[in-house]
Homo-oligomer: A and B are copies of this chain.
Amino acid sequence: MDAQYRLKTFLTLPIITITMENEILKLFERCAEEVQTDLKTLRSRYYGDTMGMGADGTPIKKIDERAEKTVIENIERETDFNILSEERGLIDRGGDGTVILDPIDGTSNAVLGIPFYCISLAYTEGTLRDTEVGYVRNIIDDTEYRAVSGEGSYMNGHRLDPKPNDEYNFSVYMGKEAHPESFEVASIPRRVRSLGSAALEISMVAAGILDLYFMKTYEQRRSLRITDLAASFLILKEAGGEIYDGDLDPLDMELDPKGRKDIAAVNHGSVLEVLK
């Protein structure tokens, strides 16, 4: 570690890059903490005031906008990065790099009261495949995933190196918009989950908790956007896994907030065989 550090000090450029990436991670962490504190307060107030009025959730439906505002304010104050966000699209500030933001991944869960959603933040200077920093944080239980390109990925400080489970655990997107193939995939393994937050579920593939995250919908109407994916994409790649598109080709996406792709994310290449 020391030798590596000295080497990097000697090669001036890499040390600057690493410093910047760590600074970005710290910025992401501050954004996440602020969003999390706000949401926890809002959540307890929501369940206090409106339970029994049905799960309509009107007061909490704007949590996405509220969390987005918090993050954008932080990024605009501290950097010159462009921002790509689900709600607001691309905010071009003339920066070299772009922060890809999903302030709450799993909004339906948050609105309904299913305790499983996260904040997802990534940084790239190119397309999805060029993502350099990824940060995902479970807002309920504080589990935190982070990755820097070329430096591995970590869950709560522990380096991730997933192995396929003996009995597979798959997460499969289902419902009336799911592609029929989804139901075949959901009949393969011993355990199936469908948890409602792609960023968190793909991060769990990176942690070896799940072996596959599968989302395929009719005409890709409900499929994933780069804002949902960018952070967990890097977290999984750096853990040694891979993300494929609906044709099982390695996934890439442009910085287009509207583009959608079907996804198969695996912790190990061998898992892909069951889909072929």
Contacts and interface: CB of A to CB of B under 8 A. Distances in A.
Interface of A: 47-48, 51-52, 54-55, 108, 112-116, 138, 140-141, 143, 155-156, 158-163, 165, 169-170, 172-178, 180, 183, 186-196, 204, 207-209
Leading 6 A-B pairs by shortest Cβ distance: A174-B192, A51-B158, A183-B183, A194-B194, A175-B192, A174-B186
Nearest to A207: B113
B177 A174 contact: no
Contacts of A113: 204, 207, 209
A116 B200 CA distance: 13
A187 B176 contact: yes
A160 B52 contact: yes
Contacts of A108: 191
A166 to B, nearest CB: 8
A108 B168 CA distance: 12
A190 B207 contact: no
Contact of A143 (B115, B160, B175): B115
Contact of A187 (B140, B162, B178, B192): B178
A45 to B, nearest CB: 12
Nearest to A142: B115
Given A114-B193, A178-B192, 13 more contacts: A47-B156, A51-B158, A51-B207, A54-B162, A54-B163, A113-B204, A113-B209, A174-B186, A175-B188, A175-B189, A175-B192, A176-B187, A183-B187
B209 A112 contact: yes
A140 B139 CA distance: 12
Copies, count: 2
B193 A54 contact: no
Contacts of A188: 175-176
Contacts of A114: 193, 195, 204, 209
Nearest to A140: B141
B176 A55 contact: no
15 contacts: A48-B158, A52-B158, A52-B160, A52-B161, A54-B165, A108-B191, A115-B116, A115-B143, A141-B141, A170-B175, A174-B192, A176-B190, A178-B186, A183-B187, A193-B194
A257 to B, nearest CB: 23
A41 to B, nearest CB: 14
Contact of A209 (B55, B155, B173, B177): B55
A190 to B, nearest CB: 6
A267 to B, nearest CB: 10
Contact of A55 (B47, B183, B196, B208): B208
A51 B204 CA distance: 12
